[in-house]
């Protein structure tokens, strides 16, 4: 409970000051702005900046209600009378929550204008915030304060007399329980102490919100709330100075997440099209050059994902399946599907970061190409009679099916699997214009014919697997081979074929 001295009127004239207050030992200071300044400020903005000032003092504050109204206190070093004088702004350090320096005075002005009485007790002095009526081309009301030596021994206490509304306690993360924090990671701010970005459970914050340096900034459409330290706010604290910097800081936080359930939700947000609807999913930035390094260890945020690669891989597979890869370009889609995998698009702002843990389409294809380089040609004299008969039929089809402009060679080969999900029946080399048929396919005539037609279609169409041109050429070649067979073009070879 705070003892309240008899309060002055909201508006005081110089005559009233000299008659009633100066004789009692109260001094008068003129703070400066008129009563009409910053009319957009209400109770929330005023309470926000009083608490902000308290948090900058000790990283903590206390609040409560008594019969007169709301009180807010801290245990800092206290305020000097000069701290109430307006500008030039006495800027706080970059790491401070209230780095713009004038919020406390504007807060007092807004409260008095709304009809509340503001009593301040601080180390060695007490103050009443008032409007002073001055005669300058008429009557002007300017913000002022009555003060006298007295006060308290430690800290500062604001008493908002007549206010019995919300203390907005959930708008300050310091009042949330520890269980509200789902994940945290070091922010770029490492002075005077390491600050941590936090992912919060919105059930504890009355819905999804963005907090900037422990203080509510704005709502967000999201599965989560955020408390971020690594970007500058606009002077009115209603948003970031640069919106892109805020998305970068969210990216830094998500780089540090290690919980698989949270990772799965994140992957659903950044997936395109989104599986989990959110405001931030397509905006979060995880590009290396934007993230930078944390403020103490100097470790790059990009590298945190690599350290948690195993967890990210599990989250990815649980969300999209073990056959899922990251799509970097849709031009690879047909090849990816041919290799037995499914491409998934995610926001381009997170592709490189997630690619440290999750296979991309390009990596899958490069690995397949490298694997197929180990294919070994089998000389004809090492084939069984049946395999050689099937190979000769394939060579005859290749020669006849392309009007004499045949491929340069058709060979039996040991071909490694193209991926861990599919075997490779045959290959066509664009560089050498040669076809390789896997030894296993040469055991049966129908497999051999299917393979030679498939690979010849690459030769005639110049197209990749599962594309329309390749499919059209396969259909044409198959029909042509059927026609040649009916004409008896392959009769001599057919007698040794095992279908």
- What structural domains and CATH numbers belong to the chain? 11-167 (no CATH), 376-494 (3.30.2010.10)
Question: Residues for the chain: how many in total?
Answer: 499
3-state secondary structure of 451: helix
Of 94-103, 219-228, 375-384, 394-403, give the range with the top mean pLDDT: 219-228
CA dist 300 and 288 (Å) reads 8
Tokens read off for 195:
């600050």
CA dist 367 and 359 (Å) reads 10
How confident is the model at residue 295, as a pLDDT?
Answer: 78
CA dist 48 and 238 (Å) reads 11
From the list 274, 176, 294, 160, the residue with the least C-alpha distance to 223 is: 274
Tell me: pLDDT of 475 over 60: yes
CA dist 189 and 96 (Å) reads 10
Contacts of 254 (CB under 8 A, 6+ apart): 199, 266, 284, 286
Tell me: pLDDT of 264 over 80: yes
Window from 10-14, 98-102, 122-126 with minimum mean pLDDT: 98-102
Q: Residue 35: pLDDT band by 50, 70, 90 thresholds?
A: confident
DSSP string of 74-121, one letter each residue: E-SS---GGGGS--S--PPPTTSTTTTS-HHHHHHHHHHHTT-EEEEE
Window from 66-80, 104-118, 157-171, 406-420 with minimum mean pLDDT: 406-420
Q: Residue 1: pLDDT band by 50, 70, 90 thresholds?
A: very low
How confident is the model at residue 4, as a pLDDT?
Answer: 43
pLDDT (tens digit, 9 = 90+) per residue, 421-473? 888 999 998 888 999 999 999 999 999 999 999 999 999 998 988 789 999 99
| Strands 139-149 and 125-135, sheet pairing | antiparallel
How confident is the model at residue 89, as a pLDDT?
Answer: 53
Tell me: pLDDT of 37 over 80: yes
Contacts of 113 (CB under 8 A, 6+ apart): 35, 39, 131
Share of the chain above pLDDT 90, in %: 77
How confident is the model at residue 100, as a pLDDT?
Answer: 56
pTM of the model: 0.84
Q: What are the E-state strand segments in 109-195?
A: 117-122, 125-135, 139-149, 156-161, 181-186
Average pLDDT score over residue span 347-364 = 98
Tell me: pLDDT of 3 over 50: no
Cα separations in angstroms, 254 against 98, 137, 174, 175, 292: 26, 58, 21, 23, 14
Tell me: pLDDT of 144 over 80: yes
CA dist 370 and 464 (Å) reads 18
How confident is the model at residue 303, as a pLDDT?
Answer: 93
pLDDT (tens digit, 9 = 90+) per residue, 278-320? 999 999 999 999 999 987 788 999 999 999 999 999 999 999 9
Tell me: pLDDT of 157 over 90: yes
Rounded mean pLDDT of the chain? 92
- Phi/psi-derived region of residue 454, left when phi > 0, alpha when psi is between -120 and 50, beta in every other case: alpha
């Amino acid at each position: 409970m705070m003892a309240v001295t008899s309060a002055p009127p909201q508006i005081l004239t110089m005559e009233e000051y000299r008659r009633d207050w100066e004789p009692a030992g109260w001094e008068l200071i003129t703070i400066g702005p008129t009563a009409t300044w910053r009319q957009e400020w209400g109770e929330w903005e005023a309470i926000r900046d009083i608490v902000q000032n308290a948090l900058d003092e000790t990283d903590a504050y206390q609040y409560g209600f008594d019969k007169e109204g709301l009180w807010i206190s801290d245990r800092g070093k206290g305020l000097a009378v000069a701290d109430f004088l307006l500008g030039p702004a006495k800027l706080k350090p970059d790491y401070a929550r209230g780095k713009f320096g004038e919020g406390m005075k504007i807060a007092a002005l807004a409260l008095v204008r709304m009809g509340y009485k503001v009593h301040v007790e601080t180390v060695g002095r007490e103050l009443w915030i008032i409007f002073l009526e001055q005669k300058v081309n008429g009557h002007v009301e300017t913000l002022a304060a009555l003060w006298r030596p007295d006060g308290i021994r430690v800290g500062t206490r604001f008493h908002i007399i007549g206010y019995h509304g919300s203390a907005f306690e959930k708008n300050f993360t310091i009042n949330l329980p520890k269980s509200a924090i789902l994940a945290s990671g070091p922010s770029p701010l490492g002075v005077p102490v390491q600050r941590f970005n936090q992912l919060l459970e919105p059930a504890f914050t009355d819905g999804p919100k963005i907090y900037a340096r422990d203080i509510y900034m704005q709502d967000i459409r999201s599965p989560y709330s955020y408390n971020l330290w690594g970007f500058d706010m606009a002077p009115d604290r209603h948003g970031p100075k640069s919106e892109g910097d805020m998305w970068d800081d969210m990216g830094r936080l998500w780089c540090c997440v290690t919980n698989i359930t949270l990772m799965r939700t994140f992957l659903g947000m950044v997936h395109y099209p989104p599986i989990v609807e959110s405001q931030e999913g397509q905006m979060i930035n995880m590009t290396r050059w934007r993230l930078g390094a944390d403020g103490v260890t100097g470790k790059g945020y990009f590298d945190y994902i690599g350290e948690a690669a195993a967890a990210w891989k599990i989250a990815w597979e649980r969300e999209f399946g073990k056959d899922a890869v990251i799509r970097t370009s849709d031009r690879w889609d047909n090849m990816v599907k041919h290799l037995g995998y499914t491409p998934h698009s995610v926001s381009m702002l997170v592709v490189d970061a997630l690619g440290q843990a999750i296979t991309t389409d390009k990596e899958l294809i490069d690995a397949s190409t490298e694997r197929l380089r180990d294919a070994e040609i089998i000389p004809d004299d090492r084939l069984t009679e049946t395999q050689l008969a099937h190979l000769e039929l394939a060579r005859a089809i290749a020669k006849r099916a392309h009007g004499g402009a045949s491929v340069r060679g058709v060979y039996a080969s040991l071909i490694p699997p193209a991926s861990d999900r599919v075997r490779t029946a045959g290959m066509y080399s664009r560089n050498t214009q040669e076809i390789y048929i896997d030894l296993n396919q040469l055991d049966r005539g129908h497999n051999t014919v299917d393979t030679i037609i498939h690979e010849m279609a690459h030769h005639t169409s110049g197209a990749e697997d599962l594309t329309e041109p390749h499919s059209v050429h396969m259909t044409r070649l198959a029909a042509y081979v059927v026609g040649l067979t009916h004409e008896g073009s392959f009769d001599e070879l057919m007698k040794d074929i095992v279908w």
